[in-house]
A and B are shown apart, each in its own frame.
Chain A
Amino acid sequence: MRRSSRHLWLVCAAILLGLGAWLANPADQAQDAPRKSVEFPNYPRRHEYERMATRETLPARAPQIMWDNAEEEETPRSVRDPLLRALPPKEADSLVIFEANALRHSVMGELMVDCLTRTWNNPIQNIYNYTGIDVLSDLDRLVVLDEGMIVTGSFEEIDFDQLFGGMQAKPYGDEALIYAADEESPLAIGIWRNEMLFMGETREEITRAVDRIEGRAVYAPPMLENQAYGEVYGTMHPKVISEIIAHGSPEIAKKIAAIVEGVDIHIDAMNDVAMVATMRGSDENDIRDLAKTIGVAFSVGRLAARANGDEVLEEILDYAKVSPSGNVPWFDLELALPQAVIEDYLAEACGEIEALEREREEALEQESEESADQLDEE
């Protein structure tokens, strides 16, 4: 009896050790579970460098126009991406580039595609039936400009003559075709090398873009290849930002319109949607004050959201941050939408659309039944 009670402590130790190992086992398996953090697009990542390299298809040719801030002895860097070379010069107001192919494979993209194929009579299929363009696989990038749009992708299979039936096609330059109603018509559509589609308010905008690509005109790209990172990127005129926020924060909107000269944006949308907006001005003190004003506004908004029990807004503003950069006239503004928030929002929106579609179908069915009954009576 005494001998067995002596070893009782050892038996207890063995049992407790086994129990401890069993309790800790899920921790080993949960190691890969991501901890709460959002990655902001502050610089190009490896896959973006690889993407840039595949797009450098033009021979090197330095831009002839120097930027305002470039030093005279600095050799301007050549841009070999035809889309970037086609873009209007740096003085243009706004341009935003959407990496359509990347966005299609993001979490948000997958959810939206799933929603669209189930609702609104599947517009993706309708576009394909009408134009021959499969927006899910044929598109690469979409550029929205102040006065026009550029789309890049793979358009070899598209019969543009049929698509633009009624419009005359004329070759332009080395590899472009310009479609227009007639010679005097200002509206035109340009195709370059079956990989770039231009839509502009005037024919001259399209011909100038093609001239920039093919070397007949000087070019001053608003961004270099190493600035083309994120799934959405570009520059926006401050008045656009000011108009967007004027309703919620009129004072800040006025300050932005007065102080900011340009806004560079980069958005990473593969999982969470994370945005970095660089606000540029000319006066360091004004920019620093604006940075503090916006930072404090975020903080106050977060406190208000917490007081009102708005957990979603509070979580969004958790990630909001303003990063002034010492004695320079610009600062970075970071904002993020967590993936869970996007998923919930899209699920709710899609559910509402489906409900509306069902109601519409039921109403149509009822109408047709009533009219059939009326016909029978007659």
Chain B
Amino acid sequence: MRLAIIAVLFFREAIARRWVLAAAIGVTLLLAGTASTLQLEVIDGALAATRLFGSNLNSDIQAADVALRALFRAASYIVFYGGLIFGILVFSDFGPEILAPGRIEQLLAQPVRRWELLLGTFFGAWILAAAGAVYGAGGFAVILGFKTGIWSVQPFVAGLISSVAFAAVYAAMLSSAVFVRSASFSGVIGGFVMLMGFVSSYRDPLSEVFYRGVVGAFLKSVTMWAPRLALLADRTSDLAATVLQDEGLFIRLILSTLLFCVACLCVGIWQFENKDY
């Protein structure tokens, strides 16, 4: 219950800054623009033509749901990586703001535990990010559904899963803010985790090509602990395009990302509990 109260405080803070509104308007405009400029000609279940702003994008004639896979896949990547970058930029100062002198004392004076404060902030950000991802990906799927008659729930699920990647990145950002109360530092940590998430996804081929011997082994051991964000993005796009093959591996990727997220939060809570305010 107290977690929910903290999360609501976070929402109020976000709305007060109006950036949530700005983001929602931006995504809505993008979806509305897509709805009005993207024309899809479907005949008996076959996608015969695709036009954007009146120009022919693709004249291949193919079963509509097969042809839409590429669109769903592209949308999934945009939501995944776009959401990560947007989230890093927008949420980087939230943790430092809450931990600011004066503010933190006021919050700690409330009947709330320190770990509840940190987790509530985290869940507030995660819920907002998940809502944005589902709105973006799901809205696109709804538009395509009305235009083609092909309805798919996979893009909604893909939007939710892309928010798992954001959870891992934001957990590291929030925990770093407890150590160093700086929005820039928080943003840099977020970018670093995102980069490590990419490198760790390709640690074997990268270490073979670029680094050999002791350096390669060191890099492989360091990247072992990072979440495989690029692999998760690839498998999420497979899910959005309904061509996911290894469900077990996909679940392992999601769980390992979530465990990284919880581990970062544990570190942040440990520091938060031991710090004098």
| A residues in contact (CB < 8 Å) with B | 6-7, 9-10, 12-14, 16-17, 19-21, 23-28, 30-31, 33, 35-36, 291-292, 294-296, 298-300, 302-303, 317-318, 320-326
Is the pair A10, B270 in contact by a Cβ cutoff of 8 Å?
yes
Out of B44, B63, B245, B259, which one reaches A17, CB within 8 Å?
B259
**Shortest CB–CB separation between residue A11 and chain B, in angstroms?**
9
Besides the contacts A16-B259, A322-B61, what 20 more A-B pairs have beta carbons closer than 8 Å?
A9-B273, A10-B270, A13-B267, A16-B262, A19-B259, A20-B257, A20-B259, A27-B249, A27-B256, A30-B249, A33-B245, A35-B234, A35-B243, A36-B238, A36-B243, A296-B43, A299-B44, A302-B45, A302-B63, A317-B63
List the A residue with the shortest CB-CB distance to B175: A13
Q: A17-B259, A24-B228, A27-B252 are in contact. Are A35 and B60 (CB under 8 A)?
A: no
Q: A16-B266, A296-B43, A324-B61 are in contact. Are A318 and B238 (CB under 8 A)?
A: no
Closest to B60 in A: A323
Interchain Cβ contacts within 8 Å, total number = 137
CA of A40 to CA of B48, assembled, Å: 20
- Give Cα A30–Cα B200 distance, bound, in whole angstroms: 14
Nearest B-chain residue to A295, judged by Cβ: B61
Minimum CB distance partner of B257 in chain A: A20
B interface SS class: helix
Q: By the criterion CB–CB under 8 Å, are A36 and B259 in contact?
A: no
Q: Contact: A12 with B266, CB < 8 Å?
A: yes
Q: How far is the CB of A97 from chain B (nearest CB, A)?
A: 27
* Most chain A CB inside 10 Å of its own CB: which residue of B59, B61, B228, B245: B61
Contacts of B45 in A (CB 8 A): 296, 299-300, 302-303
* Closest residue of B by beta carbon distance from A7: B270
Most buried by B among A21, A291, A323: A21
Residues in chain A near residue B106, CB distance under 8 A: none
Among all A-B residue pairs, the 5 with the closest Cβ atoms: A295-B61, A299-B46, A20-B259, A9-B270, A13-B266
Chain B residue at smallest Cβ distance from A321: B62
Complex contact B263–A31 (CB within 8 A): no
Q: CB distance B231 to A27 under 8 Å?
A: yes
The chain A residue sitting closest to B64, CB to CB, is A299
**Assuming the A-B contacts A27-B249, A28-B204, A30-B249, are A20 and B60 also in contact, with contact meaning beta carbons closer than 8 angstroms in the complex?**
no
Report yes or no: B264 in contact with A292, Cβ–Cβ below 8 A: no
Contacts of B66 in A (CB 8 A): 302, 318, 321
With beta carbons under 8 angstroms apart, the residue of A30, A31, A294, A300 that contacts B205 is A31
A24 touches B253 (CB 8 A): yes
When chains A and B are docked, how far (Å) is the Cα of A6 from the Cα of B267?
Answer: 11
**C-alpha gap A294/B48 in the complex (Å):** 11
| Of A7, A26, A294, most B-chain CB atoms within 10 Å | A26
B266 near A27 with CB under 8 A, answer: no
A21 cross-chain contacts in B, Cβ below 8 A: 224-225, 256
Partner of B61, one of A9, A292, A303: A292
Report B-chain residues with C-beta under 8 Å of the C-beta of A300: 44-46
Bound-state Cα–Cα, A169 to B196, Å: 74
CB of B246 to closest CB in A, whole Å: 7
Q: How far is the CB of A317 from chain B (nearest CB, A)?
A: 7
Chain A residue contacts of B269, Cβ below 8 A = 9
Residue pair B263, A322 in contact (C-beta under 8 Å): no
Write out the residue numbers on chain B whose beta carbons fall within 8 Å of the beta carbon of A30: 246, 249
What A residues does B44 contact at CB under 8 A? 296, 299-300
- Residues of B contacting A6 in the complex (Cβ-Cβ under 8 angstroms): 270, 273-274
Interface residues of B in 218-277 (CB under 8 A from A): 224-225, 227-228, 231, 234, 238, 243, 245-246, 249, 252-253, 255-260, 262-264, 266-267, 269-270, 273-274
